[in-house]
Structure 1
Amino acid sequence: MLNKKWLIWSALLALACLLSACGFHLRGASEFPFKTIAVVGSETTPMGAAIRRNLRGQANTQLLDNENEADVVLQILSERPEKVILSLTVQGLVREYTLNSYLTFQVRNSYGKIYLPPTTIVLHRTISYNENVVLSKASEEAMLYKDMQGDIVQQVVRRLSVLKMD
């Protein structure tokens, strides 16, 4: 009985040691190689607002309104959602859509030196469609676009955190 209990505790201890040694840790705040940033373009869009909100929440970086005073300028060149028919039924009715979300941006300083050339992030999601539940499918589509927006914002932040400033 004692050997079995000791074996179980040894196995649990070994498992705890393995999990702690794997390097897993929660993602903290991003560390940026600059102190101030300005975001230009897409001032009134949900994507622009989400990027600004995320950058405001970063502890080591200040979001400025004036791009001439900022160390770097995140310039949003274009953003657009897209809905494409993926498949049809035998009767010619839509069965599935592909939702695409595009964001093109570049990072430069206030003098025009480009640190990150125009870069496009593209995300895709597939959604089934049923004309009998149009309202629920519309809300599902809105949730998918919001989810893609959050993923794009995180990708932009990760790219800003590894920016090479010469």
Structure 2
Amino acid sequence: MHLFAHRPTSTPSRLGLRGLACVLLLAVLAACGFRLKGTSPLPFDTLYTNINENSAFGADLRRLIVATSPNTRFVDDVTEAQVRLTQISMQRSMREISISPEGRVEEYELNLVFVFKLSDAQGRELLPPTTLSSTREVPYDPDALQAKQGEIGSLFQEMQRSLIDRIVRRITSPEVNEAYRNLPAVEPATQGIAPATPAVPDDSMPPLDYTPLPGPDMIPSSSY
């Protein structure tokens, strides 16, 4: 009587099946519009921005741009920059959207609006004034005021990170890359540095903290 030893499934076959599964998964994700994150090098090497680098928003924006486009270097002198990322405005607000029969706020809506543009050293727009916004809703409980303040602060931080990701996606888009590469050459006689947009004062950049929520006896106005 002959005994036949059990032979395990060959490793190459297993690897082949796994590889096929990965390919199918990537195909499904691509069909759904999912894009794997990675580097998206910008076509320019130096970038100036009037966004305060000492603010959490400015610092996080710089880190993500450099991580996305490692060849890009931020400069403090606008005359050294090939491209400028200009903050036009940034506004943060909070308004009540639900009030109880007793006249007390039950829910707030948080809003963050950022307007910016991208231009070259001669002031020619690569990306016209663009408005990005983020909105969140948060329930309000006057008996848990401190906890709600912390929750709102965390939501605003999350909203800022979301805006930063969208800003970077805009400036690294194929459209911006193509617009920069297709800029006509500037004649030496007409070369010059367009006036720089002044740095945004610290008080115009919303800090991560915020005005405390009203107590149970205070009803805020329609905007915050």
TM bin, normalised by shorter chain, reads 0.7 to 0.9
Say yes or no: does 1:18 pair with 2:28. Answer: no
Q: Separation in 2 of the partners of 1:40 and 1:101?
A: 19
Larger radius of gyration: 2
Q: In 2 relative to 1, CA 15–41 (structure 1 residues): closer, same or farther, beyond 3 Å?
A: closer
Question: 5+ unaligned residues in a row in structure 2: which ranges?
Answer: 1-8, 184-224
- Once structures 1 and 2 are overlaid, which stretch shifts more, 47-56 or 21-30? 21-30
Match of 1:36 among 28, 46, 64: 46
Over residues 36-55 of structure 1, what are the superposed CA-to-partner deviations in whole Å (9 max), with x where a residue is unaligned? Answer: 11111445543223222322
Q: Distance in 1 between matches of 2:162 and 2:100?
A: 31
Report SS of the residue matched to 1:133. Answer: helix
Structure 2 residue 106 is the aligned partner of structure 1 residue 100: no
Q: In 2, Cα distance between the equivalents of 1:143 and 1:42?
A: 21
Work out which of the residue numbers 76, 86, 95 in structure 2 matches 1:75. Answer: 86
Q: Which whole-Å CA distance do the structure 2 matches of 1:76 and 1:141 have between them?
A: 24
Measure the CA separation in 2 of the matches of 1:106 and 1:73.
Answer: 8
Length, aligned pairs only: 158
Pair 78,46 (structure 1): closer, same or farther in 2 beyond 3 Å: farther
Give the deviation of 1:97 after TM superposition. 0.6
Pick the structure with more strand per residue: 1
RMSD: 2.4
Secondary structure at 1:104's aligned position in 2?
strand
In the other structure, the counterpart of 2:158 is 147
Name the CA distance, whole Å, in 1 between partners of 2:36 and 2:157.
23
Q: Give the C-alpha shift of residue 26 in structure 1.
A: 3.6
Alignment-derived partner of residue 109 in structure 1: 120
Structure 1 window deviating more from structure 2 (118-127 vs 15-24): it is: 15-24
Q: Pick from 138, 161, 166 the counterpart of residue 127 of structure 1.
A: 138
**Given that residues 84 and 98 in structure 1 are in contact (C-alpha distance below 8 angstroms), is that contact kept between their aligned partners in structure 2?**
yes
Instruction: Give the partner amino acid of 2:25.
Output: L
* Inter-CA distance 110–82: structure 2 relative to 1 (3 Å threshold): same
Distance in structure 2 (CA, Å) of the matches to 1:20 and 1:53 = 28
TM-score, scaled to structure 1? 0.83
Distance 2:45 2:133 in 1: 28
Q: Which residue of 2 aligns with 1:53?
A: 63
Q: Summarize the Cα distance change of 1:33–1:146 in structure 2 as closer, same or farther, 3 Å threshold.
A: same
Deviation at 1:21, TM superposition (A): 3.6
- Provide the rounded CA distance (Å) in 2 between the counterparts of 1:17 and 1:34: 34
CA distance in 2, matches of 1:87, 1:25: 37
Amino acid in the other structure paired with 2:24: L
CA 1:52/1:17 → structure 2, altered by over 3 Å: closer, same or farther? closer
Deviation at 1:123, TM superposition (A): 0.7
Q: Kindly state the Cα deviation for residue 138 of structure 1 after the two structures are TM-superposed.
A: 0.8
Structure 1: tracts of 5 or more residues without a match = none
